[in-house]
Every structure is written in C-alpha cells, then in structure tokens.
Amino acid sequence: MVVSKDKVEEILYNYDCRQDALVPILMDIQDKCDDHYVDEETQRYIANRLNLTYVDVYEVSSFFSAINKKPKGKYHIQLCNSSVCRINKKDIIEEYLEKSLGIQVGETTSDNLFTLEHTPCFGACDISPAIRINKKVYGHLTIQKVKHLLKDLRGELDD
C-alpha cells in the first residue's frame, strides 16, 4: 500500500467508514502518500473496509481527475486546458513548460521532481492562463513568470 495500514485506518476512522466519504478518503490517503497517488492495493483495501466492490472504488477514482492512479512528481503541475485558458494562449505556456522540463504533457521528469498534466477548468478563469501546482493556483502566466516559478521550485533562486 502507498501509506501504512495504520494511516489508512486513521483516515477511515475520521470519516466513520462512510461510503459517501469515499472521495475525501481517497484524497486524504493521496495527501499522505509521498508520490501523491492511490495504488490498486490501497483501493482494494478501502473497498473491503467500506463494503464496496473494487470496481466501485476504481470507477470513482477514475472519474475524479484529482485522484491519481500513478505516482506523481514532487510538484504536480496541472495546466488548465479549458476554453478560457486556451483563448488566453495556454499553448505558449505549455510549450515552454515542456521544453523547460524536457517532458511532454502526461509525463514525469526522470528526477521525479515534476509531473506535467492537463486539467479541466478549476475556476481560475479570471486569471487565465492558469496552472495549479500541488493545489496552489498561479495565474496571469507569462513565460517569465513560469521561468521564475520553476527556478523557485528547483531551489535555484537567490534569497
């Protein structure tokens, strides 16, 4: 499992093992996982504890893009791919991110520092083009801003 059984049990206890809390349970487990995902073994364990089938849990985790099924980099960069960000030239930001990170959308850097993915609109249209990195939103993006942000995350900024 991606986190210890004790941690999973603690999370289940926090939600009284309620079936209707499946999504927050999976999200909490993911938050506790160093690689930011919920593996099949853990999903099967949760299914068993909530009296659900593995297929039930799998379908829910597949439906919610915020629940990761594969390990992610330390920084999970989600680039909005919806209409307002597209109109506001998210392609330029995407091209720069891919070039700078040396990966394509959907991939993780070999040092496991960054994962780059598309995501549907997350409500930051007023500051588009926008990205979300480990739940924090950054908007009004320019290449200069993204360059600075990546330097910061790589620990390359002078104090």
Site size toward ligand FES, by CB under 6 A: 11
Task: Of 125, 126, 153, 130, give the one whose Cα is nearest residue 141.
Answer: 130
Closer to ligand FES by Cβ: residue 113 or 127: 127
Phi, psi for 123 (deg, rounded to 5): 85, 15
Closer to ligand FES by Cβ: residue 61 or 128: 128
Place of tokens 């990170």: 101
Closer to ligand FES by Cβ: residue 77 or 80: 80
Please state, in angstroms and rounded to a whole number, the distance separating the CA atoms of residues 45 and 37. 15
| Residue 130 found at the interface with ligand FES (CB under 6 A) | yes
| Residue 125 found at the interface with ligand FES (CB under 6 A) | yes
Under DSSP, the state recorded for 70 is S
| Residue 96 found at the interface with ligand FES (CB under 6 A) | no
Closer to ligand FES by Cβ: residue 2 or 131: 131
Whole-angstrom CA distances from 45 to 50, 51, 66, 153, 158 are 9, 10, 20, 34, 45
Q: Binder to ligand FES among 66, 113, 121, 133 (CB under 6 A)?
A: 121
**Interacting positions 12-71 with ligand FES (CB under 6 A):** none
| Residue 133 found at the interface with ligand FES (CB under 6 A) | no
Please state, in angstroms and rounded to a whole number, the distance separating the CA atoms of residues 100 and 113. 13
Query: Given the rule CB under 6 A, which residues bind ligand FES?
Result: 80, 82-85, 121-122, 124-125, 128, 130
